[in-house]
Amino acid sequence: MTYEGFLPISKEDLKDRNIEQLDFVYVIGDAYVDHPSFGHAIISRVLESNGYSVGIISQPDWKNKNSISILGEPKLGFIVMGGNMDSMVNHYSVSKKRRSTDAFTPGGAMGKRPDYATVVYCNLIRQTYKNIPIIIGGIEASLRRLAHYDYWSNKVKRSILLDSGADILIYGMGERAVVEVADALKSGIPVKNITFIDGCVYKTKDISGIFDYEILPAYEDIKEDKLTFAQSFYTQYLNTDSFTAKKLIEPYPNGVYIVQNIPQKPLTQSEMDRVYALPYMRNYHPSYEEAGGVPAIAEVKFSLVSNRGCFGGCSFCALTFHQGRIIQTRSHESIIEEAKKIIWDKDFKGYIHDVGGPTANFRHTSCEKQLKAGVCKNKQCLFPTACKNLKVDHTDYLNLLKKLRELPNVKKVFIRSGIRFDYLIYDENDTFFYEMVKHHISGQLKVAPEHISDNVLSRMGKPENAVYEKFIKKYKRINEKLGLKQFVVPYLMSSHPGSTMEDAVVLAEYLRDLGYMPEQVQDFYPTPSTISTCMYYTGVDPRTMEKVYVPKNPHEKAMQRALIQYRNPKNYDLVYEALKLTGREDLIGFDSKCLIKPRKFGTNLGKNSNNIKYDNKNVKNNSKDSHINSDTKRNKQNSNKSGTLKKKTIRNVHKKKGH
């Protein structure tokens, strides 16, 4: 049942296709973009390819219940997805200020979807269709499938299944699960009895028939006790792999249980190929043309998805909970076939913007055993050091890039989705490194060390700074051999759990020695279902239950952010205050090693100083408790020496006129 063109969005479209009643109505928080970088496009096309008719209701007016019935009542049910991003991340910055634009809305207009969009849309459906099955999925539902800390309300919220009133939640990448749910509904199984599909979460009052499960702490208990929350979260974290996971049961009041089935197995390469070979229109719906189109398409229209999953294990990333740690890849043939479609597009200028995924240079599982036994439950592949079983090989990825470079009309193939620099440095064969520098970057390479203090890096799940320095040296050496002058732009994060003010000063010194000041600084953003968010809320690392210092005071966070951009005159008062609080007045002066020059301090000094002094005291106490303060002290003692943070080789790599 595959039709030409976009899926129906109106009754007129249904009439044109001779569809009297749709099997599914898909309600989405984004504009309708029929491109495989958008989750709703993949799910709708997968259902269509399996014989189901699907219509799209994009960004319905949540204040008008009639907006949900424009396609009529579906035979089998509604599918609801908040969008490609969590609606709260889409709406608010980390400071909880409303964003001014929405890249997933026609014309970039803000305000076309509600906060907590999945919940609101489901409740809107229930006003009109009392008994129709509702299936929810996407990133918003996936990461809120069990009780979770919600940063925007500063509360522990229930499973989104309860607040939305939906019947089934599909978590992770749902291509296989959504077809299994559809087939079950089509066969006449009542939605309340569809409890047997992997990758799904459901609610029940009877758990007597469930086997091989683990009971999580009750919602009421984790809401009241942060340590219990951390313990529950870590149990969930250990059960994210389809080979080793058990079913999880979370009790709620009145005898209600939320049951999370084990994850779906990773897609095979042939399954991935079939998903990306579906007849996508590869653009936004033409009805948006008058509004100026959908801005988000610009980033992906000439990019190619090569893989899914990530074994990087960064604490602040939710990929472990959503896509999993096992790498899934498309074949070269599949990717090249898609490339052949985009290189003849009238807007193609000769540049393939990206060939990658969550981590571009992951093209196979991290070790041989994963596709038979799964990933290790309590060990990481790259952190704190590389596992002895880690398979490091860039050959397949390099061959793919070479094939793409040889296609007609292609001038350059970029890698923009990011490389894992530690994985690259572990490769004893330098061929890919040389090829990447020569062919796949243009002037600068963006990498994500995130910080340079080992104190902070240990909480981030990132390699120690020495690994990054080794990468930088090698990058410089290869550029010199190739006669190129290219630079590294490091992504940095401020105020991550574990980051004391002393750590922030050390990072500022590092940037001083590089002669580089970032134009933008990323504050840590506590989003649902990450280890870092658990640390932020509970004050402990769930992996060890050690205490972790968490910078929460807005003024302190502003100081940590200002230290990264210490050259900006607007940040002078904040930087001055931070240096005074940490006893680093040696960095105020006219010497080349100083961050700022002395002058009469502005009126902001002392405005919040009592709170910050108290917080700074806690910095030291908590660091001592968790045994992670030695590097900070050592860096402070060596601040005026030629330590590892001040090597000329690194400074020369980064230094660029105008930085």
pLDDT tens-digit series, residues 439-498: 999 888 989 999 999 999 999 999 999 999 999 999 999 999 999 999 998 899 999 999
Element housing 576 (H / E): helix 572-581
**Band of pLDDT at residue 3, cut at 50, 70 and 90:** low
Q: pLDDT at residue 645 above 60?
A: no
Q: pLDDT at residue 641 above 80?
A: no
Please report, for residues 210, 263, 396, the alpha-carbon distance to residue 247 in angstroms, rounded to integers and kept in the order given: 9, 9, 36
One-letter identity of residue 418? G
Distance (Å, whole) CA 283 – CA 293: 9
Angle at alpha carbon of residue 216, lines to 122 and 164, rounded to 5°: 5
Distance (Å, whole) CA 186 – CA 189: 7
pLDDT, residue 174, reads 95
Sign, Cα dihedral of 560, 564, 570, 571: positive
Chain mean pLDDT for the chain = 91
Q: Which two tokens stand for residue 558?
A: 């502003």
**Band of pLDDT at residue 517, cut at 50, 70 and 90:** confident
One-letter identity of residue 416? R
CATH code assigned to 302-440: 3.30.750.210
CA neighbor of 471 nearest in space, from 494, 493, 448, 438: 448
Q: Please determine whether the domains at 11-202+255-260 and 302-440 fall in the same fold group of CATH.
A: no
Please state, as a whole number, how many other Cβ atoms lie within 10 Å of the Cβ of residue 386. Answer: 18
Q: pLDDT at residue 427 above 50?
A: yes
Say which residue the tokens 């014309």 belong to.
107
pLDDT, residue 110, reads 97
Please state, as a whole number, how many other Cβ atoms lie within 10 Å of the Cβ of residue 154. Answer: 10
SS3 48: helix
pLDDT in tens, 521-562: 889 999 999 999 999 999 999 999 999 999 999 999 999 999
CATH code assigned to 11-202+255-260: 3.40.50.280
**Band of pLDDT at residue 297, cut at 50, 70 and 90:** very high
Structural contact between residues 152 and 97, judged by C-beta atoms closer than 8 angstroms? no
In three state form, how does the secondary structure of 91-125 look?
A: HECCCCCECCCCCCCHHHCCCCCCCCHHHHHHHHH
pLDDT, residue 600, reads 64
Please report, for residues 133, 269, 399, 403, 514, the alpha-carbon distance to residue 396 in angstroms, rounded to integers and kept in the order given: 44, 14, 5, 11, 34
State the burial class of residue 64 (Cβ atoms within 10 Å of its Cβ: 0-12, 13-18, 19+): exposed
Q: pLDDT at residue 290 above 90?
A: yes
Structural contact between residues 510 and 457, judged by C-beta atoms closer than 8 angstroms? no
Question: 443-659 domain in CATH 3.30.750.200?
Answer: yes
All structural domains of the chain with their residue ranges: 11-202+255-260, 302-440, 443-659
pLDDT, residue 278, reads 97
pLDDT, residue 502, reads 97
pLDDT, residue 137, reads 98
DSSP letter string, 590-603: SSTT-SB------T
CA neighbor of 309 nearest in space, from 355, 258, 365, 245: 365
Distance (Å, whole) CA 331 – CA 364: 11
pLDDT, residue 61, reads 97
Distance (Å, whole) CA 160 – CA 144: 6
The angle, 0 to 180 degrees and rounded to 10, between the axes of the packed helices 175-186 and 39-49 is 40
Please report, for residues 153, 193, 495, 559, 619, the alpha-carbon distance to residue 554 in angstroms, rounded to integers and kept in the order given: 16, 48, 10, 9, 15
SS3 135: strand
Q: pLDDT at residue 414 above 50?
A: yes
